[in-house]
Amino acid sequence: MEAQAKEKREKPEKEATIETIRMHVATHAGGVVHYMEDRVMRYLLVREKKENVKDRPLKLVLPKGHIEPGEEARETAVREVREEADIWATISTRTNVMPESMLLPAGFAWIYFMEGQRNMNDPEAGRHPEWLTWKQVLRREDEFYPDTLGLPENAERRFCDRAGLGNPPHR
């Protein structure tokens, strides 16, 4: 009887999954927003905020931002895309790729694959949203944080696979 009680104390009732743990520390959310035109996928990128940068050119980043109190990460992703680029987007799935630039001191960012509209009427000041093909992303690789490129690359690979187009160009 005592052996069973000891075993029960040593073994947790329910093991926490990595996803459960991460959900408790997610502080930001955003998206890899895409749309297709003429069988070519395009990805939405915005310039990082000027006040966050000193002495270097602004990088292209994925739209993302703080999760507000009472807000779900999915809601944040949609809201941030709308605020930063004036794009309505719907979530298709959450990525399983977490680049280091998305790991923040106080938590991390959930990034979702999202389908967006192309129109941009009133983006957030200074964000300069751009729709780029994967080939354009590769040509402008120096304008990105290196680990951020894995997200549109993963999306492009998924798109090419589903559309039967073979493998996308590699960096």
Q: 25-163, what's its fold?
A: Nucleoside Triphosphate Pyrophosphohydrolase (3.90.79)
Kindly give, in sequence order, each residue whose CB lies less than 8 Å from that of residue 78, ignoring residues fewer than 6 positions away.
31, 89, 90, 91, 114
pLDDT 10s digits, 41-89 = 899 998 887 766 778 888 888 898 889 999 998 999 999 999 998 889 9
Q: What is the mean pLDDT of residues 129-149?
A: 85
**Coil, strand or helix at 21:** helix
- In angstroms, the CA 109 to CA 77 distance is 10
Domain segments of the chain as ranges: 25-163
Query: Strand pairing of 40-47 and 130-133?
Result: antiparallel
Does the model's pTM come out above 0.75? no
